[in-house]
Amino acid sequence: MSQLHLQDLFKVDEVEIIYRNRIPYQDRIQITQPATAYEVLRVNWDENRLELVEQFNILMLDQKNTCLAISDLATGGIAACLADPKIIFATALKARAIGIILAHNHPSGNSQASGADLTLTRKLVEGGKLLNINVLDHLIITSHNYTSLADAGLIPR
């Protein structure tokens, strides 16, 4: 085999990780309670989809619970949305997040957690422990209110 052909066999793509936070530290909002997280999420949620389809977002926080970023990670159908843990944690790691707040909407207007919501939350809490990323809360959002799983005592520690 020629040297040129061998080099072609071993070509691989490169993954580059870049992070830039354009908001100065002093201008970032601190999330100290679920109501603040809800307000940040509602301001940034696509209002036209809130009562149409389920969407899954995360707030990424630093060690002082200052909001680094928000990410819209998945859009589903009327009654479900597939939130991939690999995408959730890849996004949090890229933003250098120490903590995350999970959030998804219920287009039905019912803000109560389903069994699937609780299962996903437990799974993400356990995954976060391996990566030293604390899952601080999971908010279920509707157009008029929200439920905080942390406030309800449903975030395992």
The burial class, CB within 10 Å (0-12 / 13-18 / 19+), for 27 is exposed
Query: Residue 139: CA atoms inside 13 Å, Cβ hemisphere, count?
Result: 22
pLDDT of residue 15: 74
Per-residue pLDDT of the chain (157 residues; tens, 9 = 90+): 566 666 777 777 777 777 788 889 899 999 999 999 999 999 999 999 999 999 999 999 999 999 999 999 999 999 899 999 999 999 999 999 999 999 999 999 999 999 999 999 999 999 999 999 999 999 999 999 999 999 999 998 7
Domains of the chain and CATH, by start: 3-148 (3.40.140.10)
pLDDT of residue 156: 83
What is residue 29's DSSP assignment?
A: P
Q: From residue 93, give the alpha-carbon distance in Å to each of 34, 65, 66, 70, 123.
A: 22, 15, 16, 13, 17
